Structure formats: C-alpha cells, structure tokens
Amino acid sequence: MSLEGFEVAVVGAGPAGSAAALTLAKQGVQVLLVERGSFPGSKNVFGGRIYSYALKRLLGEHWKEAPIERFIRKEGITFMKPDSAFGIEYETTDPSLSFTAIRAKFDKWLADQAEKAGASLISDARVDDLIIDSGRVRGIIAGQDKIPTDAVIACDGTTTGLARKAGLVEMLEPRTISMGMKDVVELPADTIEERFGLEPGEGTANVFVGSPTDGIRGGGFLYTNKESVALGLVVGAEDVSSRKISAPSLMEKMRNHPKIRRLLKNGKTVEYDAHMIPEAGPGMLTHPYTGGMLVAGDAAGHLLNNGYTFRGVDMAITAGIIAAETILEARKEKDYSASSLQAYETRLRREPSLSDMYRFKRVPKYLRNSRLYGVYPELVCAAAEAVYRVDGTSKKKIFKELRGQTKGRVSTLTLIRDLLGGMRTF
Ligand SMILES: Cc1cc2nc3c(=O)[nH]c(=O)nc-3n(C[C@H](O)[C@H](O)[C@H](O)COP(=O)(O)OP(=O)(O)OC[C@H]3O[C@@H](n4cnc5c(N)ncnc54)[C@H](O)[C@@H]3O)c2cc1C
C-alpha cells in the first residue's frame, strides 16, 4: 500500500479510531487507520458490556450485525463481606439497550466496517511519533515511514503517547489511573442461563463492592457472554501500590469468594488480561486538540466509571464520530489550525451522550473515599444479616445493631456527610 496521499491518519483501531475512520471514509476522505496489534482488538481488554446507542448512531440499523454475545436483561450490584453477600437486581424491559461483546471480535468487526466504507487499515504498525512543523501536527511516523497528512486523530488509548508528544498531557499520575484485570471463564450456554436465570440470548451485568478489593478503591464485575463469563476487578493504581498489595492476589480472593465460586463452578479459565483505565475524565488533557490533531476516546479521558455503570466504548465511539465531524468541517475551509479545531471541545461538551462525563466530574473524587469499599459494604451485609437471621436468640433493633457495627469505625456525622456527598455527586 502506498502511504502517500492520505488526508487524515487515525491512530489506533479501537472503538474510537474505527468510528472516526468510518465516519470520515463515508464522506470520501482518504483516511489511513493504523493499529499496532496484529489485528484490531487483538490486545484490547475490557469488562464486557457496550451501550448500543453509540453504535446505532454510527451504523444505523446495521449495528445489529455486530458480534453480540448477549443482550443485557439483568443488572446487579452485590455488597460483599468475605463470607456473605447482599445483592440488588434490576431487570430491564429493553435488553437491546446494551450487550456483551468480546473485543477481539468486536473491534475487528468495527474496523472491517471502516474498511468497507473506504478507510485503509494497516495492522502490526506502531506509530512512534508525530511530524510536527511550526507547532502544528502534519503527519505520523511509524518505524521508517514518515506519512504526511492534513490532520491526525489520536485514538491510541489510555497511555496515549501521541497526546504526550503533542504536549497535551504530562505523564499520567497513579492517582488518576485504575488497573483492570479480567478472567474469561468458559461455561456451557445452558449452564450460564440456568445459574443466572436467563433465557437464551439474554445476559447479566453485575458489579461487586466490598471484600473483593480489600477496602481499596474499586470493585469487581461479572458479565455473561454466550459461552463464557468475564470476571474482573478494577482497582486504583495508587492505592494498590501504597498499600503494597498485589493486584493478582485480590483477583484470587474474588475468584474464591463463596458466591463467585458457586457461579463459576466447573468453569475453565481460558484467558487472563490486565489493562490501565483513565479515571481523570476529560480533564486528563489540557485540551483534546492542537493544530493538526484531535484526541478521542480513552486517550482523552472520554470514559465514565461511576461505580454502577462503566461507560468507555460508547463514549469512545461517540467521541470518534465527533472528532471526524470536526475534521469534515475543517476540511471545507482547509483550515486545520488549533483555532479551527477548538470547535471539537465545544462539540464534545454539547453532545448529550457525553455530557454525563462533565456532569459527573466530581465522581472520581467522591469515589476516592475508602469507606465506600470497606465499612459501608460491611454495614449493608450486617443490616441484611440483622434482618434475615433468625436463630432463636433475641434480636436487637436493626438501627441498634448497625450502630454497634459502626462503633469506632465511622461516626454518625461522617456517615451523614458521606451520604450528602453522594447525593450531591450523583
Ligand atoms: C478491565 C476493563 C474493563 C472495562 N469494562 C468496560 C465495559 O464493560 N464497558 C465499556 O464500555 N468500557 C469498559 N472499559 C473501558 C473500555 O475498554 C475503553 O474505554 C475503550 O476501549 C476505549 O476505546 P478507545 O478506542 O479509546 O481505546 P482502546 O480500546 O484502548 O484502543 C486503542 C487502540 O490503539 C492501539 N494503539 C495504541 N497505541 C498505538 C500506537 N502507537 N500505534 C498504533 N496503534 C496504537 C491499541 O492497540 C488499541 O487497538 C473497560 C476497561 C478495562 C481495562
């Protein structure tokens, strides 16, 4: 393939990059999509659930052709102590709103759609640097190849080398990063359906709070695929290193929790992966644009993990579309300067499906409260125990029981402050 004559280079064929490349290619732009993995998705890790709306916006009715594992019928949150658990479950009336997927299949399929629309994909090619001239990005450098383009869209994920090279971000701080780990455990489809109370094609998404993270900021997740279950953990990188805890040992603890052990009984672990997650939100970059370049997806902090929903892929797709639309506007005037491309930031802020990212910007700070992962999940389990345990001994009033549990661990004032903080944040 000749590497001359491309108008736009999109770096990274994750959801953000493929969405951007597809949107540009559909309008006849000569676009090069560069992926360092042997194929799109080959190295990409996530929990497992994608909100459908973004894919619908990108592909119209064709979104249903995506490699969908199961549509999410059930949502759950489970508070855990080492030996007990208390869960709440919600069943939606509209499972088409979100689905589970396997990234090696999903990312490849999405990049295929971009290629079908006319984008040129090269895999196994790492972009090492940017061509920068007179303070403006004018192309990419991959190995020996210097590829001049009018504009670059950096969709190179959390560690985004390109935004750093363009001076849009300093080194990432451990405080603003989480570590994600995931097992894929194979189980027959009918076993999954029986254990989780699902019909064929239906899935469940669960989060776990409390003992799986040993009091560290973060939580566990479980998603059902067709014939496998994704079980994982997301924990604050700084907390793990300051408490000198080995993250894999937390994973081991979660696998061995009685509730999880039962759900995954006789399953075969076929995969273990780990990946970083940006938690600083869009404030991670000074701006998501500079002269000649836009940044989208994880690379720009376009992700919202508020503890009960995890939105990364939908936001990455939406940001990729908006980045491409901004480039299409700039192309009309042939003006890719920073002052022209700053419209991108305004468009991101105005986009309803991304506005949660700005609305919930206090969430990361609120979620740094360690009581949310230690004493409070224990309290919830203790309350359940106080309600349900009948063993012939006389029962204390529930409030008295809970006050007993909190003694020396959290004052009433702190509890009220945390509650009000949560109400303000969410
Ligand atoms: C454990 C875990 C669980 C998660 N669970 C969920 C979930 O359930 N739902 C959800 O929506 N989100 C989830 N996320 C977040 C989600 O994975 C990301 O938000 C999403 O993948 C972001 O897409 P992206 O295209 O911006 O980046 P990525 O998916 O990271 O894609 C970046 C691409 O760029 C390529 N690349 C990087 N550098 C270069 C380079 N220099 N040259 C060429 N190519 C390069 C990479 O190989 C990769 O293909 C989870 C993340 C983790 C880690």
Map tokens 């359940």 to a residue: 384
Pocket test for ligand 1, best of 122, 141, 147, 156 (most atoms within 8 A of CB): 156
Q: 38 alpha carbon to ligand 1 midpoint, in Å? A: 15
Maximum average pLDDT range among 166-175, 224-233, 379-388, 404-413: 224-233
Q: Specify whether the CB–CB gap between 128 and 11 falls below 8 A.
A: no
The predicted pLDDT at position 1 comes to: 61
Q: 310 alpha carbon to ligand 1 midpoint, in Å? A: 13
Pocket test for ligand 1, best of 23, 43, 44, 106 (most atoms within 8 A of CB): 44
pLDDT band at 127 (very low <50, low <70, confident <90, very high): very high
359 forms beta bridges with none
> In the numeric block, which tokens belong to residue 258?
């009685």
**If you average pLDDT over residues 390-410, what whole number do you get?**
77
Report phi then psi at 381, rounded to 5. Answer: -65, -40
The predicted pLDDT at position 3 comes to: 73
Percentages (nearest 5) of helix, strand, coil residues in the chain: 40, 25, 30
Look at residues 188, 231, 176, 225 and name the one whose alpha carbon lies nearest to residue 204: 225
| Cβ contacts of 399 within 8 Å, gap of 6 or more | none
Q: Please give the radius of gyration of the chain, using alpha carbons only, rounded to the nearest integer.
A: 23
Amino acid (one-letter) located at 110 = L
Q: 54 alpha carbon to ligand 1 midpoint, in Å? A: 16
**If you average pLDDT over residues 270-278, what whole number do you get?**
89
Longest dimension (CA), the chain: 81
Amino acid (one-letter) located at 87 = G
Q: Is 103 in the pocket of ligand 1 (CB under 6 A)?
A: no
Q: How far apart are CA 258 and CA 25, in angstroms?
A: 50
Predicted confidence (pLDDT) at residue 408 exceeds the cutoff of 70: yes
Q: 275 alpha carbon to ligand 1 midpoint, in Å? A: 9
The whole model's pTM is what?
0.93
Q: Is 313 in the pocket of ligand 1 (CB under 6 A)?
A: yes
Q: Containing H/E element for 140?
A: strand 136-142
> In the numeric block, which tokens belong to residue 187?
């189980």
